[in-house]
Chain A
C-alpha cells in the first residue's frame, strides 16, 4: 500500500524548475532514500510533502490526505527533522519534547510516558534535564529524531540527518534511524548525499538530479544494473569453461593472465567460485557502490557538487551560543 503518492508534482521558482513533474509511490513501512547532489530538488520535494512549500502544480497525498487541500491533517501525520538544527537550546531535552507534544496536541495523560519512552529510545534519558546547548552534535540529532517521532507520525522525513557529523556519529545516527523505524513502524523518507550510508539503510532509493528522478530501485538492484560485481583472479591454469558454466557468472574475460569475472553477489558466491578454481594466487573483488551508479547515470560524482557540509550547522550553533552568553 502506498502511503505517499505524488502525481506530476512540480515546483518552480521563477524560471528555475526545482522539482519537475515528480511521480512517486512510497510504500508503507519502507525506508526510502532520495539521493542527489545539492540543488537537485530533495529539500524542495520534502518541503512540498510537509506542506511547507506550496507546489506549483501536480498533487501529492500522505496517508490519504491531500497536501494542498488538507495541510493541517497532513501536518499531524508527518514528522520532520530538518537539515539545519531546530532545537531550542534555551530549553532542556525534555522541555523540547514537551513543547513539541503540546504543539501536536498530545493529551496530557500520555505525554510524560511518551516523552520518556522516546528519550529512552535515543538513549538520552540521563541527559534529558540538561539544556540542549550542552549537547553534542550527535545528541542533538538524536533528540530531533525523538522529537520528530513523538506524535507517532505515519511518515517521518529526515533531511540530511547526518550532515555535519563526524563519521562515527553518523554511523550511530543511522543505527538509531533503523531502530526507530522498526520500533515505531514508521515510514521513513530521507535525503542524503552520503551514498554508501544510504545503501546500507534504505529499502529503495530514488536518484534525483535537476529536479527529476532518474532512477528508482533497491540499492542492490541499482548496483546490479552496473553489471554486477567484478572478481579479478590470478591463477596459473584457468579452466574458463567450468567457470563460465556457473549460474551466477555473467561474463569472463582474460586480460594479461588475470581473469576478470563479472558476477552477481560476489560476497555470497565467492567461496563456491573459488572451489572451482585451483591454485589461486590472488583475488580482488570490486563491488559497485551507489556512487558508481550515480556517476554512471549523471556522468559526475555526487561530491563534485560541493555539499554544504558542516559550515552552516556549526555557524548557527556558534551564533546561538553568542546569543546565550
Chain B
C-alpha cells in the first residue's frame, strides 16, 4: 500500500516534469531569446568593457562568462517559477491540482521541470566555451553541478513568489527589487575585492548567488575567493531553504 502510494507520487512528479519538458521543446522562440540575451552581454557588453579592462590577468569577457551563466540561471529560473501566476489565471494548473497527487509532488515536478529547462539553456551556452580562451573546459561538469543546484533554489523561489501573487502586477516589482539586485550584487560583472566600497562588499557577501558565481568562476577560470566546498555548501543550503519555503507556500496556495 505504502509502496503503491510512493509509486503514484513518483508518477505524478514525472507527469508534471514531462509536461514542462514538452512545453520547453515547443517554445523554441523562447529558448532562442533566452540564449541571445546572455550572448549579447558577453559579446556586446563584454567586448566593449573588455577593450579597456582586464581582470585577474584574464580578458574581461572571459571573466564575466561564469557570471553570465549565473545570470541565465537566475532569470530563467525565477521567471519560470513566476509563470505559475499565469497558469493559475488560465486555470491550466487547476486540472493538475485536483488530481490524486500531493501538492509536494506537483511542486517537485515543477522544480525539476524548471531546472531541466534552465540546464538545457546552460548547456547550449557551454557550446560557446571555445570562444573564451581562458576557460578550462574540464571545469564544466563541476560548474554545471553548482548551476543546477542554484537553479533548484531559484525555481523554488520563483514558485514561492508565484504562489503568493494573484496577478501579474508583482512581476515588475520582483524584477526591480529582487532579480536585478541579486544579479548586480553577485560579483557576476566585477571582482569582489578590497577595492569595493565597504557597504557593497557586505551586500555582495550576503547574496547567495555570489557563491554560485564564485564557485563557477573557480571551476572554469580558477579565480575564486572561497574554496569550492564553501560555495557548494552555501548554495546547497540556499537550495534546501528555498525548496522548503517554496513547497510550504505552494501547498498553501488557494
What is the interface of chain A, defined by CB distance below 8 A to chain B?
Answer: 50-52, 72-73, 75-76, 80, 82, 84-91, 95, 98-100, 102-105, 131, 147, 316, 319-320, 323
A85–B14 Cα distance when bound, in Å, is 23
Q: Which chain A residue has the least Cβ–Cβ distance from B25? A: A90
Which secondary structure characterizes the binding site on chain B?
helix
Instruction: Give chain A residues whose Cβ lies under 8 Å from the Cβ of B253.
Output: none
Q: Are B19 and A91 in contact (CB under 8 A)?
A: yes
Say whether, besides A102-B18, A103-B101, A86 and B92 are in contact (CB < 8 Å).
yes
Q: Are B94 and A104 in contact (CB under 8 A)?
A: no
Say whether, besides A84-B91, A91-B19, A319-B90, A102 and B12 are in contact (CB < 8 Å).
yes
Instruction: Give chain B residues whose Cβ lies under 8 Å from the Cβ of A88.
Output: 19, 92, 95
Say how far B89's CB is from chain A's closest CB, in angstroms: 7
Instruction: Give chain B residues whose Cβ lies under 8 Å from the Cβ of A51.
Output: 98
Q: Are A320 and B90 in contact (CB under 8 A)?
A: yes
A91–B90 Cα distance when bound, in Å, is 15
Query: Is the C-beta of B32 less than 8 angstroms from some C-beta in chain A?
Result: no
Which of A52, A87, A99 contacts B15 (CB under 8 A)? A99
Q: Are A75 and B19 in contact (CB under 8 A)?
A: no
Q: Which chain A residue has the least Cβ–Cβ distance from B106? A: A103
> C-beta contact mask, B1-35 vs A, less than 8 Å → 1, else 0?
00000011001101110110011001100000000
A82–B96 Cα distance when bound, in Å, is 12
Listed A/B pairs (17) with beta-carbon separation below 8 Å: A52-B98, A75-B100, A82-B94, A89-B92, A90-B23, A91-B22, A95-B22, A100-B99, A102-B12, A102-B18, A103-B96, A104-B99, A104-B100, A105-B11, A316-B90, A319-B89, A320-B90
Say how far B116's CB is from chain A's closest CB, in angstroms: 16
A323–B16 Cα distance when bound, in Å, is 20
Instruction: Give chain A residues whose Cβ lies under 8 Å from the Cβ of B27.
Output: 90
Query: Is the C-beta of B43 less than 8 angstroms from some C-beta in chain A?
Result: no
Beta-carbon contacts under 8 Å, B208-244 to A:
none
Report the contact-size class of chain B (Cβ under 8 Å from the partner): 20 to 34
A104–B98 Cα distance when bound, in Å, is 10
A52–B91 Cα distance when bound, in Å, is 14
A258–B202 Cα distance when bound, in Å, is 96
Instruction: Give chain A residues whose Cβ lies under 8 Å from the Cβ of B22.
Output: 90-91, 95
Instruction: Give chain A residues whose Cβ lies under 8 Å from the Cβ of B14.
Output: 102
Which of A86, A100, A102, A131 contacts B94 (CB under 8 A)? A86
Q: Are A86 and B91 in contact (CB under 8 A)?
A: yes
A102–B10 Cα distance when bound, in Å, is 10
A220–B151 Cα distance when bound, in Å, is 61
Q: Are B95 and A86 in contact (CB under 8 A)?
A: yes
Instruction: Give chain A residues whose Cβ lies under 8 Å from the Cβ of B126.
Output: none
Instruction: Give chain B residues whose Cβ lies under 8 Å from the Cβ of A75.
Output: 98-100
A147–B86 Cα distance when bound, in Å, is 22
A218–B194 Cα distance when bound, in Å, is 83
A82–B90 Cα distance when bound, in Å, is 12
A76–B101 Cα distance when bound, in Å, is 9
Shortest 6 CB-CB distances between A and B: which pairs? A102-B15, A103-B99, A75-B100, A86-B95, A105-B8, A76-B100
Instruction: Give chain B residues whose Cβ lies under 8 Å from the Cβ of A86.
Output: 91-92, 94-95
Q: Which chain A residue has the least Cβ–Cβ distance from B5? A: A72
A75–B19 Cα distance when bound, in Å, is 21
Say how far B60's CB is from chain A's closest CB, in angstroms: 37
Instruction: Give chain B residues whose Cβ lies under 8 Å from the Cβ of A72.
Output: 100
A88–B86 Cα distance when bound, in Å, is 12
Q: Which chain B residue has the least Cβ–Cβ distance from A312? A: B91
A75–B98 Cα distance when bound, in Å, is 7
